[in-house]
Amino acid sequence: MKTDDLIAALAADTHPGPTVGQRLSRALPGAMILAAVAFALFWGVRPDIAAAMTSPAALKPLVPLALSGLAGALALTLSRPEARGGGPAIALWVLAALLAAAFGAALAGGGLSGLVGALANPSLVTCLTSIPALALPLLAAALWGLSAGAPRRPALAGALGGLAAGSLAAALYALFCDQDAALFVLPAYATAILIVALAGSLLGARTLAW
């Protein structure tokens, strides 16, 4: 088949493919409802939620929410082949640096024994399994949406999709979790979110390639 013939066949196909935005707006609401329903059924909101949300523990859902927004925006940007990270990428690095600094400060205060003490807690296992479980529908929706795009680096786009899904799930899980110590929350939530990001990266390398 000659190239000119191929062009004729391509031009005849006027069926427009969906955009990443269209797919996400179709899949994300359902995935969010699924995660919220699962959360209500199997986890539920902590009883002292009103008191917690007026204390520094209110950051537990809010920071992951911001992280999710930034990672999502960056994934959306990088789903175009010619795009560069720009603003969202810098903001994401700044946020990551701030979180690392907060962890450093907490570690300096509590010491290594404080960290071990905070993590020697049955809540750790719950956290590390709950966040990825809640993130599952969100990750699926994110990857399906992003697969309509053309990212130059599919694994990176998948990782960002996983970061967004994991952070959103962490924000949800934070409404249940009654562990408010920084030495627990920062490393445990970060690990759980990074597990989802790693899964997104591995899956993205296959599903987002084009």
Partner 1 sequence: MRAANSGDAAAYRQLLQAITPVLRGVVRARGRALGPEGCEDVLQEVLLAIHLKRQTWREDAPLRPWLYAIARHKTADAFRARGHRIDLPIEDFTDALPAAEGPDPMQASDIEKVLARLEPRAADIVRGFGMRGETVAETAQRLQMTEVTVRVALHRALKAIARLRERMIE
Question: Interface with partner 1 by CB under 8 A: which residues?
Answer: 1-20, 79-82, 148-150, 152, 210
Q: Tell me 57's DSSP state.
A: G
- Please, what is the minimum distance in Å from the beta carbon of residue 32 to partner 1? 24
Nearer to partner 1, 59 or 155 (CB): 155
Q: CA dist 120 to 114, 123, 137, 184, Å?
A: 10, 9, 29, 9
Compute the least distance from the CB of residue 73 to partner 1, in Å: 15
Nearer to partner 1 among residue 17 and residue 56 (C-beta): 17
Complex with partner 1: residue 82 or 120, whichever CB lies closer: 82
The candidate with the shortest Cα–Cα distance to 46, out of 152, 144, 126, 109, is 126
DSSP type of residue 45: -
Q: Residue 13 or 122: which CB sits closer to partner 1?
A: 13
Name the CA dihedral angle for 79, 84, 86, 92, rounded to a multiple of 10 degrees.
50
CA angle 203, 69, 80 (to 5 degrees): 55
Report the alpha-carbon distance of residue 210 to residue 206 in Å, rounded: 9
CB of 91 to partner 1, least distance (A): 21
**Sequence-ordered list of residues with C-beta below 8 angstroms from that of 102, at least 6 positions apart, any chain:** 182, 186
DSSP state of 18: P
Q: Please, what is the minimum distance in Å from the beta carbon of residue 166 to partner 1?
A: 25
Of 19 and 55, which has the nearer Cβ to partner 1? 19
Minimum separation from the CB atom of position 88 to partner 1 (A): 16
